[in-house]
Amino acid sequence: MASVASLTKQIAALDISNQNKAGKTSSNPARPPLHAKQPSQTNVAKLLTKFAAPNTTTAPSKLSKTSSTSTLRSQASSKTLAEKLEAERQSKPPQVDIGAYDGGLEEDEKSRGSAISAEAEKRLALDSTNDRQYPTRQWTLNSFEMGRPLGKGKFGRVYMVRTKCEPRYIIALKTLYKSELVSNRVEKQVRREIEIQSNLRHPNVLRLYGYFHDEKRIFLMLEFAGKGELYRQLSKAGRFSEKRSSRYIDQMADALKYLHSKHVIHRDIKPENLLLGLDGELKIADFGWSVHAPGNRRKTMCGTLDYLPPEMVEGKDHTERVDHWALGVLTFEFLNGFPPFEVPDSQTKTYRRIQAVDLRFPEGMSSGSRNLISALLKYKPEDRMPLEKVMVHPWITQYRPRNSTRGSELA
């Protein structure tokens, strides 16, 4: 029977896209306690960690079919039928329960989606087999074992699913109805989101493994973020501790540095667009407002009001430094439970506070966190702290795990 360690190594060495292609067969009240993992979740989390598709750039291992076949034959010849059946049974890894499918796709099929024009159909005929950089095998809805629903979005549903082909990875499958994308005039935005996210490879960026379509829908094969939405945890906790906030911002800075090196500006960083992986690691998701801008200058105003930087509020050109500003706002919200410039029920006053960089720190915040936030929330984009310096800031490094190599090359 294969050991847990050997199974883990085999799975970690595979990339789902290439593996399957190869196998076509103001006051500061006391902070509430943070969530503690329930003991009953431990074994399930370990199994999910093993069988969820990996977010790595490791090339798939190439096995010798001839040598493995000859080894099996020699082993089989020396065993009785009963021994062979028992060995086969024990060699099969335990299956993770992905939950019961609720029939939601069939239910939607009766009431959602309508015909679209030939031109729109051509624009939304999205298939990762045609991806220029990372082409995948041919996928269809029949390629998956359907599991429990993970949520509903404006344009469709998200399910926990398992691939039927080996090694039977667990992923999240998101559906989008083409006619609804067209009627809301977001088909170009969706195309851009898919093109950007499918070519990103970073442990703190939610992975898009592949995508395909049928007559009515587009399907996105996404990394399964086992601990769900960060926003829900923040809402439940009220605010995060300095240690937890620092570790999240450390991961965010590293991920944004990677995105900017690829000339990708996210432009909509906020808690609602962040997920948590099986080990509690942060995952940047929702690239709907992202843009690939090699020239690094854009004009479109987008994102969420509380996170908009002064240059967007004033209708000026913007660069990747809008993400630096958002990182400062995010740090403040993690620590306090609300964004720094928010004026409830008044967009105009919120705009004015942003323009004036009217930053007010509640009592109880550490000097280190205040220093980092102040260094990121600067009126002039060029004055905002570079991400490289964020990653070696004392408030970040003091909470970084000792065995972490993050930021070591920058120190």
Three-state DSSP string of 11-59: HHCCCHHHHHHHCCCCCCCCCCCCCCCCHHHHHHHHHHHHHECCCCCCC
Residue 119 known to bind ligand? no
| 387: Cβ contacts below 8 Å, ≥ 6 apart | 253, 254, 256, 257, 260, 324, 327
By the 8 A CB rule, do 372 and 385 touch? yes
24 is in an annotated binding site: no
Task: Find out whether 243 is annotated in a ligand binding site.
Answer: no
- DSSP state letters, 190-207: HHHHHHHHTT---TTB--
What span, in angstroms and rounded, lies between the C-alpha atoms of 221 and 198?
10
- Give the separation between CA 331 and CA 173, rounded to whole angstroms: 31
User: Does residue 358 have a known ligand-binding role?
Assistant: no
β-pairing, 228-229 with 282-284? unpaired
Is 224 marked as a binding-site residue? yes
User: Which residues touch 339 (CB under 8 Å, ≥6 apart)?
Assistant: 306, 307, 329, 332, 333
**What's the CA gap between 143 and 100, in Å, rounded?**
17
- Taking alpha carbons only, the member of 32, 214, 198 closest to residue 108 is 214
Paired tokens of 158: 């998200």
Q: How far is CA 313 from the centre of its chain?
A: 27
Query: Which residues pair with residue 172 across a beta bridge?
Result: 160, 222
Catalytic positions, please?
Answer: 268
* 202 burial level (CB within 10 Å; 0-12, 13-18, 19+): buried
| Closest C-alpha to 277, from 224, 236, 330, 198 | 224
On whether the CB atoms of residues 255 and 205 are closer than 8 A, the answer is: yes
> Annotation-wise, does 154 bind a ligand?
yes
Using alpha carbons, list the distances in angstroms from residue 154 to 69, 181, 262, 265, 275: 49, 10, 29, 24, 18
Q: Is 336 annotated as a binding residue?
A: no
Q: Quick one: tokens of 238?
A: 């009220």
SS3 content of the chain, % helix, strand, coil (to 5): 40, 15, 45
334 assigned to a ligand binding site = no
SS3 of residue 400 by DSSP: coil
Annotated binding-site residues for ATP read: 154, 174, 223-225, 272-273, 286
Annotated binding-site residues read: 154, 174, 223-225, 272-273, 286
